[in-house]
């Protein structure tokens, strides 16, 4: 059934690009469905999904992405909004998967770039100097 769903998505995209008759759509769906069945060996698709979701927490936070351990999707930042779709807060997610409280759910490279940018801006110096020059009543 999964092959049929994928074939229908492909045919739908093709029909959006060019005009197709119903017979062409049916024929194309059958061909694509059969081609997908032949291209993917039996059992390999299920194994790949299990391996991706069975990712260990220490490998979920990578240089360019963070993988949600609940659904397996990859993000640059694992947001509160996404975690709420799984019925979890960031605090609950970290506790469930064994992360420390201070662990940020952000890709390592992005965190490093943000730290560098904040260091260059030196907002703490600007805030201090602004307060010192303001007149007091």
In degrees to the nearest 10, what's the CA dihedral of 33, 34, 38, 44? 30
- Name the DSSP letter for residue 67: E
The per-residue pLDDT for range 18-68, each reduced to its tens digit, is: 888 888 888 888 888 888 788 776 555 444 443 444 478 888 999 999 999
Kindly report the pTM of this predicted structure. 0.52
Query: How many Å apart are CA 127 and CA 133, to the nearest integer?
Result: 10
Query: Rounded to whole angstroms, how far apart are CA atoms 69 and 85?
Result: 13
Topology of domain 56-137, CATH: Arc Repressor Mutant, subunit A (1.10.10)
Geometric angle at alpha carbon 47, from 42 and 77, rounded to 5°: 140
- CA dist 130 and 127 (Å) reads 5
Residue 75 and residue 60: Cα distance in Å, rounded? 10
Tens digit of each residue's pLDDT (9 = 90 or more) over 55-112: 788 889 999 999 999 888 999 999 999 999 999 999 999 999 999 999 999 999 999 9
* Domain limits, the chain: 2-40, 56-137
Name the packing angle between helices 2-17 and 22-39 (round to 10°). Answer: 130
């Amino acid at each position: 059934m999964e092959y049929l769903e994928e074939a229908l998505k492909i045919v739908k995209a093709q029909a959006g690009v060019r005009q197709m008759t119903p017979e062409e759509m049916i024929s194309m769906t059958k061909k694509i469905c059969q081609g997908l069945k032949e291209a993917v060996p039996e059992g390999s698709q299920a194994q790949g999904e299990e391996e991706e979701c069975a990712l260990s927490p220490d490998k979920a936070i990578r240089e360019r992405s963070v993988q949600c351990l609940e659904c397996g999707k990859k993000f640059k930042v694992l947001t509160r909004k996404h975690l709420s779709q799984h019925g979890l807060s960031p605090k609950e997610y970290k506790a469930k998967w064994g992360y420390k409280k201070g662990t940020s759910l952000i890709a390592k490279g992005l965190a490093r770039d943000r730290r560098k940018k904040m260091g260059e801006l030196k907002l703490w110096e600007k805030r201090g100097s602004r307060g010192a020059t303001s007149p007091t009543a």
